[in-house]
Amino acid sequence: MTAQADTGRSNQKQRTRTAIVAAARELIGTGAEATMPAIARAALVSEATAYRYFPDLPSLISEALAGVWPPPAEALAPVADSADPVERTAFTCEFLLRGILARQGAVRAMIAATITRPETVPRRPGIRFGLIEEALVPLQDTLGATDPDAFAQLKRDLAVVVSAEALFTLTDLCGLAPDEAVASAVRTATTLTEAAVRAAGSPNDGDV
């Protein structure tokens, strides 16, 4: 009987945890503000219960986002046949920023947490870095081989632009509409990449 009771409690705990993660994922998908009270209400549990399973909001959001973003190669499938790093970077920038807009409540919560509690930074998904790496594959044998420092700098430059922070700067501080903000970031990202292509001496016509 004891073993059965333990199994029952374990199963119930797993169902509760699954319900909390599912509620978080559903709320995140709406783009609404992501808070522990809101997620707990959606999961039909108390806030105290939610905190028993997840010590803080970033850890819950991180688990809820796991698997939501496709792997970089899958994300860039529409431009997989392109050897033009500028085209690939433009696609990557728009893909990421559109995804951030769709989940901006959760993204904002993660950014806020990493600012106020730097120790939570490792829980924040570093989606941009894998996407940037994939976008710049055509430059690996040119700029990456001839000037690795410049190649690394390009990745860092793009990490600043192809980011939630850049997007929210454009919308919140510069007052741009979401579409305008995305277009502005894409222009900057492509300008940076075009400059790197010229520096590498590679034609920007697909023959990289």
pLDDT on residue 126: 82
> Is residue 114 exposed (0-12), middle (13-18) or buried (19+ Cβ within 10 Å)?
middle
Q: How far is residue 84's CA from residue 113's CA, in Å, rounded to a whole number?
A: 37
- Tokens representing 169? 């700067």
Kindly list the domain boundaries of the chain, sorted by start residue. 2-65, 72-200
Q: How would residue 192 be classed by pLDDT, with cut points 50, 70 and 90?
A: very high
Closest CA to 170 of 156, 194, 187: 187
- Alpha helices, H only, the chain: 2-30, 36-43, 47-53, 57-65, 72-75, 85-102, 104-116, 127-135, 143-146, 148-161, 164-168, 178-200
pLDDT tens track for 25-63: 999 999 898 999 999 999 999 999 999 999 999 899 989
pLDDT on residue 121: 66
Residue indicated by tokens 């995305």: 182
> Within the chain, what is the greatest distance between any pair of CA atoms?
74
pTM: 0.83
State the DSSP code for 70.
Answer: P
Q: How far is residue 170's CA from residue 52's CA, in Å, rounded to a whole number?
A: 37
pLDDT on residue 123: 66
Q: Is the pLDDT of residue 177 over 90?
A: yes
Q: Which of 35-44, 139-148, 166-175, 194-203 is predicted least confidently?
A: 194-203
Query: Residue type at 77?
Result: A
